[in-house]
Amino acid sequence: MSELSLIIHVLAATILVGPQVLMFFAVAPSSWAIEDDDLRTFVVRVIARRFATLTVIALVALVATGLYQFYQDEVVPPDIRENMADYRFGLIFMVKMTLLVVLIGMIGFHAVVLARRMAAVTEGVKSGVLERWELDRVRRNSMLFSGLMILVSIAILALGVLLAFGPYADVPR
């Protein structure tokens, strides 16, 4: 069962990180080529909703399988689990969990603040109240923030690999 949990955990991680990279390098920049503001808004909204659904499913799967693995003796030996501070595992695990909380906060901030701001500025440009450069600035900020989220996600993946690499993680500090 631990192997199946690990497979699901890795799959969920790829479902979380893969679409972030795709959105950053392909979808968002490509959407800017759609000149019809209403069509662009519709396309981006549909993609964002599906992306959000995948993100939530991946995060739930990651937390569930991560907790399951943490409490499996063959994955995390009881001595390490009970004395995490005595092993490199503890430091790696705590940094990984901290970055996960940061990433979840970043995802929420992007969805609630940046995406709404972009929608409002898009409407302002369409109605003639705001200038196109203001929309370009909001898009650039969103892209920079998304790039930062990708870096945090990659760091979490790297820490997960270190946790799985027993000869490193099992060494006392």
Q: Give pLDDT tens digits for 14-34.
A: 999 999 999 999 998 899 899
Exposure class string for 132-155: b at 16+ Cβ within 10 A, else e: eeebeebbeebeeebeebbebbee
- Phi-psi group of 172: left, alpha or beta (phi > 0 → left; psi -120 to 50 → alpha; rest → beta): beta
What secondary structure does DSSP assign to 61-111, as a single string?
A: HHHHHHHHHHT-TTTS-HHHHHTGGGBHHHHHHHHHHHHHHHHHHHHHHII
pLDDT tens digits, one per residue of 61-114: 999 999 999 998 888 888 888 988 888 888 899 999 999 999 999 999 999 999
If DSSP codes are grouped into helix, strand and coil, which group holds residue 172? Answer: strand
pLDDT over threshold 90, residue 40: no
- pLDDT band of residue 160 (cuts 50, 70, 90) is very high
Amino acid 173: pLDDT: 58
- 108-158 pLDDT, tens digit each: 999 999 999 998 998 899 899 999 999 999 999 999 999 999 999 999 999
Domain residue extents for the chain: 2-169
Phi, psi dihedrals of residue 171, rounded to the nearest 5°: -75, 130
Work out the pLDDT band at 7, boundaries 50, 70, 90: very high
